[in-house]
Amino acid sequence: MKKIKIDLLVIGAGSGGLVLASGAAQLGANVVLVEGDRMGGDCLNYGCVPSKALLAAANTAHQVNHSDKFGIKAEIVDSNYAEVMAYVEKKIAAIAPHDSQERFEQMGVKVIRQYAKFKDRKTIIAGEYEITARRIVLATGSRAKIPNIEGLDKVNYLTNETLFDLKKAPSHLAIIGGGPIGLEMAQAHARIGVKTTLIEMNRILQVHERRFVEPVAQSLIDDGVNILENTFVNWIEKEKNDIKLHLSSGEVFMVSDLLIAAGRVPNIEHLALEKAEVEYDEFGVKVDKNLRTTNRSVYAIGDIVEGSRFTHTASYHAGIVLKKILLGLPSKLRTNHIPRVTYTDPEIASVGFNFDDAVKRFGKKVQRSCVNLKTNDRAITDSKTEGFVEVLLVGRKVIGCSITSKNAGELISFWALIIAKNIKISNINAMIPPYPTLGEVNKRVVSEYFAPKVFGNKLLKYYACAMQRFFK
């Protein structure tokens, strides 16, 4: 074995691991990065990048097929699935150099392309290397959770790791799971002409209030997606080249392809965490507010930690650990300012509390202000008036925001900043948004909050009447 002693060992070259490794190397630390699969992790290869590229292609097809409402006559005769997937591959290839082994080695990071496992509390075995580090950070990410359905192991099902390898369009794609991945892939495939059925055991996007989800659900239905809520797949069987799904409703579906999008599980199976005395459960590695595990030399970031499993969360975690272990600065985990986005059309985004949870926490102190996109001029000109923006407040403090709209993921960043910096809602009145933009709704929802307080003010009405008499 080749023995290495270093300052920092990062296990996993996904978003969080790459941010941490690059930051530590630039601060002068001796860093080793271990990755047993692809550089860039799930986000680059199987998640955010390919899914958004596929959505871009699908939304382009949708715009062409619905161009008549703009007075333009156009129609797509055929969508070439293989060429669409080739477009997806090109977008991955365009971003890949940023996450490449070569780039990180140029930064001074030693990259070892092997799976890692603990030998003891401070030592890792990775291929021919035995690595001892002052600090170890686990950033191995997550993978698709495979439900326990009878017969599933007898068919060739898809996950997000294999979906983008398809070159032939499914004749009928069934998706198990009504979360963000399931909805995004259902809409994308429906818009490029694939017959699509979405099966969810509860209700779709159940982390959001139903009223925010309804415009999204209606959009998918309009696109041709068959949504089956409160429905289980009882068992599955293979029939020639097809897959037969037996549902709890008694229905039987024959499909060509089956995508599993029923949640995520942490990638911990290779690590031998018991030897490092790192505690974990089915949801992930247990950490404190500093993202330190039960082994004080070991930290964990990103999807391997229970909580919101987003690329931006992993990058945020990396920043916390970087400040703590290399700079000695206090930096504790917060979650109330981390936004969540589902990139359907319309998108649905939120940050902070939803209304039900806010009432449980603050009771009758919770106030809300809501604006419908039908009142926004830019939404009207673009024919994208589905949805609304709602802000939750306690006093003058914003505690949550939910948005259903075109580009909701862009709009929610504003409210993530407001919550992160604890900016009072009265200060937002100083903002002058450009007209006409969708972003005006963020100012408008503040105006709606203040309107009854201003125009219901008796003293203000008295002065207004006095001024009217003066000008007479």
- Please spell the DSSP secondary structure of 180-232, one letter per residue: HHHHHHHHHHHHTT-EEEEE-SS-TTTTS-HHHHHHHHHHHHHTT-EEE-S--
Q: What confidence score (pLDDT) does residue 460 get?
A: 47
C-alpha to C-alpha distance for 354 and 359, rounded to whole angstroms: 9
Q: What is the number of other CB atoms lying within 10 angstroms of the CB of residue 286? A: 15
- Cα gap 158→442, rounded to integer Å: 40
In angstroms, rounded to a whole number, what is the distance separating the alpha carbons of residues 386 and 18?
38
Find, among 103, 144, 143, 119, the residue nearest to 9 by Cα: 119
Contact 407, 428 (CB under 8 A): no
Cα dihedral 210, 216, 218, 223 sign: negative
Give the pLDDT of residue 55.
97
pLDDT tens, the chain, 472 aa long: 899 999 999 999 999 999 999 999 999 999 999 999 999 999 999 999 999 999 999 999 999 999 998 999 887 767 899 999 999 999 999 999 999 999 999 999 999 999 999 999 999 999 999 999 999 999 999 999 999 999 999 999 999 999 999 999 999 999 999 999 999 999 999 999 999 999 999 999 999 999 999 999 999 999 999 999 999 999 999 998 899 999 999 999 999 999 999 999 999 999 999 999 999 999 999 999 999 999 999 999 999 999 889 999 999 999 999 999 988 888 889 999 999 999 999 999 999 999 999 999 999 999 999 999 999 999 999 999 999 999 999 999 999 999 999 999 999 999 999 999 999 988 998 899 999 999 999 999 998 888 776 655 554 455 445 545 555 5
CB 421 within 8 A of CB 375: no
Residues pairing with 252 in the sheet: 246
Pairing outcome for strands 129-138 and 2-11: parallel
> Quick one: tokens of 194?
């694939």
Tokens of 124: 């890792």
CA 472 to each of CA 230, 237, 466, 467, 469: distance values in angstroms, whole numbers, following the listed order: 66, 84, 10, 9, 5
Residue 328 has a pLDDT of: 87
pLDDT reported for residue 329? 85
Query: How many of the other CB atoms lie within 10 Å of CB of 334?
Result: 12
Beta strands at 123-126 and 116-118: parallel, antiparallel or unpaired: antiparallel
Domains, in order of start, for the chain: 2-143+265-327 (3.50.50.60), 152-263 (3.50.50.60), 340-455 (3.30.390.30)
C-alpha closest to that of 145 among 259, 276, 307: 259
The pLDDT value given to residue 466: 53
Q: Which of 305, 298, 307, 302 is nearest to 277 (CA)?
A: 298
Q: 10 Å Cβ neighbour count for 423?
A: 15
Nearest to 293 by CA among 123, 143, 121, 142: 121
CA 9 vs. chain centroid, Å, equals: 27
Please give the radius of gyration of the chain, using alpha carbons only, rounded to the nearest integer: 25
